[in-house]
Structure 1
Amino acid sequence: MKKILVTGSNGLLGQKLTDLCLRDPEIELIASSKGPNRHPVKQGYIYEDMDILDPLQIQRVVEKYHPDTIINTAAMTNVDACESDKENCYALNVGSVKSLIRLSEQHNIQLIHLSTDFIFDGENGPYAEEDQPNPLSYYGQTKLEAEQLLQQSSCRWVILRTIIVYGIVNDMSRSNIILWAKGALEKGSPINVVDDQWRMPTLAEDLAACCLLAAKKDAEGVFNASGKDMLSIIEMVQKVALYWNLDQSLIKPISADSLNQAAKRPKRTGFILDKAKNILGYNPRSFEEGIAFVDAQLKAISESK
């Protein structure tokens, strides 16, 4: 049995990790998040109400359960909010990681940490693991600083870098590019979509599987863990419209600069995935397969109501 503590278990990735761990008899899961458990299944694992910003709460949970691995999914990821609320962004994206590193060093715990394509400036994507970061936003800066703290630490660390994670949770409390585009187009609402940024969107289930592969293989180091298709943002939305047979004429191309967003975004990121495929056995779905997967989940949710 491998004992895994997941932080941020109420988030999209956290809930997908709970799903996978529940199906795996070799894993004992301790899920943790701030406030009550939002996962629909409450049995088969332990849930701890834990504020990741409180080092004493983290210490209490770690010393109570002695996990073999911590998967840290907790983060402040709203890029513009990070720009306007730097204090909270730093506390969540860097401060909490310091606490996790210290405990992982003390108790010989493997620490798997989620990072982002936003540590890069987007001038030379797609990127390999060893390419030189140059974040354009405060969010990217904090995620890079957390990576550097891990790399300087003596704990057994894994950094999984990912891009635009999409998927759905049972209570539909999390939006993402697929649900946003589908919802707006079904209402007949015109939508402005950026046509000059490129990403490799990641299905949450694929990323959760990669986290568990890293845990089971006792991996160490930096791994790229995104989807496999490089698409512009507008291409993603067009594929959503095509899948559900929605009106593509409602999709209006705009440039990123015209949005006047608080935080600057990289133009073209994307990842080279060879390392994660070869070492971890990571095998992400295509974006079309991801849309079909989400569609099947949406149907299952509506049928269960």
Structure 2
Amino acid sequence: MKVLITGSNGLLGQKLVKLLLDQGVDFVATSRGTNRIDFSARRFEYCELDISNQNEVDEVFGKYEPDAVINTAAMTNVDQCEQEQANCRKLNVDAVKYLVEACERHRTHFIHLSTDFIFDGENGPYKEDDQANPISYYGQSKLDAEQIVKAAKCNWSILRTVLVYGITPGMSRSNIILWVKENLENGKPLKIVDDQWRTPTLAEDLAMGCFLTAMKGASGVFNISGEEMLTPFDMAKRTAEYFELDFSLVTKVDASTFSQPAKRPPKTGFILDKAKEVLGYEPHTFEEGIKILDEQVREMTE
């Protein structure tokens, strides 16, 4: 089996590259611009690909003829999507159409990453067949992409996830664990929301969900996230406890404290029964995720 990864320079993409290398899977990594992954002497094939360029998509499929595509490339900054809607649609919807059409021609299994933000957050946690009702442009773009995938005339899978966290060398965006750790270590007070609930997802777990789906050729929609329903305040408390930091610096606030261009659903989170049963998916606990992150940071700074 040959797997093609899109968005390999991103957090999930980099975790997938490492996992497929570890598993000895034949794959090609693609992303916009040059390869930013450095796994020392571990070599892999890389090809530049802008998935919003239909000609490039067709050329890459013609060259590699993959058995499965794992599409991790997307515009995921929720507020940026709200403010740059045309660009969001180009990356999150039009590009998916190009990929689906290429998969149909090459009889390729298309594995697409989606989000809890297709839901309005009024009735979480959600099962795979619950009714979507996005309240942001980002959420709508991902739902529109899902509808394209579901109409595909090839084997397809949609993996929905929630608040992915992790770390890679040279990563441009932080995550709540490292953000809380850094600020509390520096004695800075924090205001953190306690009225939005999620099931945060370790990036390694999401990569494993992608891997299991590809290897089993599993079709349909799967929820791939963590299991624990937590607020950002809960996450901050567990982070402070793990690193033995002063949690009295953290003040509990509600979402109305902050002004953001895009609305956030109040309570999402996922029920994972289907992924556990069909894929054999088993996520880490949030504490285990913190420990893995801590170990990786130590390795990078040694």
TM-score (norm 1): 0.97
After the TM superposition, which parts of structure 1 deviate over 4 Å for at least 4 consecutive aligned residues?
A: none
What is the CA distance between 1:86 and its match in structure 2?
A: 0.2
Q: Give the 3-state SS of the residue equivalent to 1:170 in structure 2.
A: coil
What is the CA distance between 1:233 and its match in structure 2?
A: 1.2
Aligned residue number for residue 56 of structure 1: 55
The 5 Å alignment of 1:75-114 reads: 75-114=74-113
1:23 aligns with 2:59: no
**Unaligned stretches of 5+ residues in structure 1:** none
The 5 Å alignment of 1:114-263 reads: 114-263=113-262
Q: Distance in 1 between matches of 2:94 and 2:28?
A: 22
Q: Give the 3-state SS of the residue equivalent to 2:80 in structure 1.
A: helix
1:35 aligns with 2:41: no
Alpha-carbon contact 2:125-2:271 (below 8 Å) kept: yes
Aligned residue number for residue 294 of structure 2: 295
Q: Distance in 1 between matches of 2:84 and 2:191?
A: 26
What is the CA distance between 1:113 and its match in structure 2?
A: 0.3
Q: Distance in 2 between matches of 1:46 and 1:287?
A: 33
1:282 aligns with 2:281: yes
Alpha-carbon contact 1:28-1:45 (below 8 Å) kept: no
Alpha-carbon contact 1:151-1:157 (below 8 Å) kept: yes
Q: Give the 3-state SS of the residue equivalent to 2:33 in structure 1.
A: coil
Q: Distance in 2 between matches of 1:72 and 1:85?
A: 21
What is the CA distance between 1:174 and its match in structure 2?
A: 3.2
Alpha-carbon contact 1:166-1:203 (below 8 Å) kept: yes
Q: Distance in 2 between matches of 1:65 and 1:211?
A: 20
What is the CA distance between 1:188 and its match in structure 2?
A: 1.1
Q: Distance in 2 between matches of 1:201 and 1:210?
A: 14
What is the CA distance between 1:173 and its match in structure 2?
A: 3.0
Q: Give the 3-state SS of the residue equivalent to 1:21 in structure 2.
A: helix
Identity %: 55
Q: Distance in 1 between matches of 2:294 and 2:50?
A: 33
What is the CA distance between 1:147 and its match in structure 2?
A: 0.4
Q: What is the root-mean-square deviation in Å for CA atoms of aligned residues?
A: 0.9
Alpha-carbon contact 2:71-2:113 (below 8 Å) kept: yes
Q: Give the 3-state SS of the residue equivalent to 1:6 in structure 2.
A: strand
Alpha-carbon contact 2:225-2:270 (below 8 Å) kept: yes
Q: Give the 3-state SS of the residue equivalent to 1:253 in structure 2.
A: strand
Alpha-carbon contact 2:51-2:99 (below 8 Å) kept: no
Q: Distance in 1 between matches of 2:73 and 2:171?
A: 19
What is the CA distance between 1:77 and its match in structure 2?
A: 0.6
What is the CA distance between 1:53 and its match in structure 2?
A: 1.3
Q: For the structure 1 residues 172 and 103, does the alpha-carbon distance in structure 2 shift closer, same or farther, using more than 3 Å as the test?
A: closer
What is the CA distance between 1:44 and its match in structure 2?
A: 3.1
Alpha-carbon contact 1:86-1:138 (below 8 Å) kept: yes
Q: Distance in 2 between matches of 1:181 and 1:15?
A: 24
Residue deviations 1:253-274, cap 9 Å, x none? 1111221211110001010000
Alpha-carbon contact 1:116-1:143 (below 8 Å) kept: yes
What is the CA distance between 1:121 and its match in structure 2?
A: 0.5
Residue identity opposite 2:193 in structure 1: V
Q: Distance in 2 between matches of 1:243 and 1:218?
A: 38
**Unaligned stretches of 5+ residues in structure 2:** none
Residue deviations 1:96-124, cap 9 Å, x none? 00000000011100000000000001111
Residue identity opposite 1:34 in structure 2: R
Residue deviations 1:242-287, cap 9 Å, x none? 1111111111111112212111100010100000000001000000
Q: Give the 3-state SS of the residue equivalent to 1:282 in structure 2.
A: coil
Q: Give the 3-state SS of the residue equivalent to 1:47 in structure 2.
A: strand
Residue deviations 1:213-245, cap 9 Å, x none? 000000100000001111111100111111111
What is the CA distance between 1:172 and its match in structure 2?
A: 3.8
Alpha-carbon contact 1:12-1:174 (below 8 Å) kept: no
What is the CA distance between 1:182 and its match in structure 2?
A: 1.1
1:264 aligns with 2:263: yes
Q: Distance in 1 between matches of 2:17 and 2:7?
A: 11
Residue identity opposite 1:40 in structure 2: D
